[in-house]
Structure 1
Amino acid sequence: MKRVAFLLGLMVLLASCKDQVVEKPEKLLDEGTMANVLYDLAVIEAMKSRDQGLTGNSTPQYVYKKYGIDSLQFVQNNQYYAAEIAKYKKIYDKVNERLENERKVADSLARKNGETAAPSSASAGNTPQIQ
């Protein structure tokens, strides 16, 4: 997850340093679809970091296949939205909201089953924020 956040941050930095606007990708994903792609990638990265049996670089390929894109189209769309920071923030707000809702549901289910929930990274202040 840290790797994804670092790469996205680097893309934002590079996009903000350019004088010219990033070209619109040939296959532009709408904001909702882009949020879904980023959400799915975040979940996969979280599962990989928790050693849930996901290994290798093939897991993002599942997400790309699910949305009918490839890694290049994802990067182009990510750069495009990163160049328009207001849209990018809106997309990430959707992703963070969805992740937080899923965390609450998981915590609730864990309490019902008598399990102790792991401390969330959101409450620990480790969630990357775009400001």
Structure 2
Amino acid sequence: MKKISYLLIFTFLFSCTSNTILEKPKDLIPRDSMRLLIQEMMIASSAKYMKNKNLETKVEYMPLVYDQFKIDSVRFQNSNLYYMSKIDLYQQIFEDAKTALEKQKKFYSDRNTRRDSIRNDSLKKLKKEKKNFMTDDSLVLNKKEFKVKKDL
């Protein structure tokens, strides 16, 4: 019932005006902040089904995003509705957010690849040192030396 009433109100708002461009709200979120906000919201929505540090899933991260930007959901809804009425500007905001997310993804994947290669190289080096240590002739005792040390 609640969803139907929201749908009716939303339809009523858009059907009353012939021009769908809304007035600029007093507390409009600036375009750059809106791009960052949408970027963080995309991350938060995709992280919902991932396990966090405490091995929990289905955690709602949107309130954390609102707290980070010091806004409430009503201010976001008003700003989002305004930007949606200017579709070219809204599309540009989303494209900028998507581009920034792709850059972040590339940066972290490159960093992880580099870290993994460094780790693999260090593991190979440790294995080689261990192998050299175990086969070193100075550490292998012959039977006579072992008996002498055992008698002491």
- Give the aligned partner of residue 40 of structure 2: 40
Q: 1:101 aligns with which of 100, 103, 106?
A: 103
Aligned residues: 101
Q: Compare the two structures and name the one with the higher helix fraction.
A: 2
Greater C-alpha radius of gyration: 2
- RMSD between aligned residues: 2.4
Check the 8 A contact 2:49/2:58 in 1, yes or no.
Answer: no
In the superposition, the TM-score normalised over structure 2's length comes to: 0.58
Check the 8 A contact 2:35/2:96 in 1, yes or no.
Answer: yes
Q: CA 1:110/1:79 → structure 2, altered by over 3 Å: closer, same or farther?
A: same
**Percent of aligned pairs with the same residue?**
21
User: 1:64 Cα deviation (Å)?
Assistant: 1.2
Check the 8 A contact 1:16/1:83 in 2, yes or no.
Answer: no
Could you list the structure 1 runs, at least 4 aligned residues long, displaced by more than 2 angstroms after superposition: 14-21, 49-57
| Distance in 2 of aligned mates of 1:16 and 1:104 | 40
| Distance in 2 of aligned mates of 1:114 and 1:81 | 42
Is 1:63 aligned with 2:65? yes
Amino acid at match of 2:62: P
Structure 2, unpaired ranges of 5+: 1-10, 118-152
Amino acid at match of 1:73: R
SS of 2:116's equivalent? coil
User: 1:27 Cα deviation (Å)?
Assistant: 0.4
Amino acid at match of 2:85: A
In the superposition, the TM-score normalised over structure 1's length comes to: 0.66
